[in-house]
A and B are shown apart, each in its own frame.
Chain A
Amino acid sequence: GESVGLHLPTLSVQEGDNSIINCAYSNSASDYFIWYKQESGKGPQFIIDIRSNMDKRQGQRVTVLLNKTVKHLSLQIAATQPGDSAVYFCAENRDTGRRALTFGSGTRLQVQP
């Protein structure tokens, strides 16, 4: 069935570098996407979201890019810090009638000092 997935299960970067985490989705009807950060033993924390009528949105040190042509979503983290080490999930709202999110399997970001 259609699902949200991730290209890289683990991403290792040097402190201070920029990080890019990618996500592919297959449901062209999805109209809302979110990135979450999950630290060990905690619930997912909202980072940033984007609607399908946009292709870019920026937050504090983070940028989400949406390419609807190839059904690709990415999260860019600028000047990655040790505190950014966590698992990152993309999620989509592919069934607005259900009002629930479908999550990908996650990418672990490891920041090397």
Chain B
Amino acid sequence: SQTIHQWPATLVQPVGSPLSLECTVEGTSNPNLYWYRQAAGRGLQLLFYSVGIGQISSEVPQNLSASRPQDRQFILSSKKLLLSDSGFYLCAWSVRGLNNSPLHFGNGTRLTVT
């Protein structure tokens, strides 16, 4: 069966520090990969999605970047964190090439920027 792993589960970082969140998927090949952010008590905002290695689409201009160095690895990064980067970051995957397929989420990373 397919599984998705995100780490760390929680993270507290000072303003101006770098960030690297990692997400890996097991049990599937060539997935679409996604990063979403969820503010407290709110819905999910799409940040980045990827349909293949090295292929990244950005949804909103921001202080973050994403990379996909391997087929099942998706990394969210920042060179200098802002207070507004605090939130719950969720990685997800879906089956590539299959129209109308659900996204499957990891358990997220709660980031607090102090």
Contacts and interface: CB of A to CB of B under 8 A. Distances in A.
Interface of A: 31-32, 34, 36, 41-46, 49, 51, 89, 91, 93, 96, 98-106
Nearest to B41: A106
Nearest to B91: A43
Interface size of B as a range: 20 to 34
B31 to A, nearest CB: 11
Contacts of B87: none
B51 A42 contact: no
Interface centre among A51, A99, A103 (most CB of B within 10 A): A99
Contact of A34 (B57, B102, B110): B102
Contacts, number: 58
Given A44-B90, A99-B32, A99-B94, A89 B103 contact: no
Contacts of A93: 100
Given A98-B57, A99-B32, A99-B49, A46 B102 contact: yes
A103 B108 contact: no
Given A43-B108, A44-B90, A103 B99 contact: no
Given A44-B44, A103-B36, A106-B43, 8 more contacts: A32-B99, A41-B110, A43-B105, A46-B103, A49-B100, A49-B102, A96-B100, A99-B94
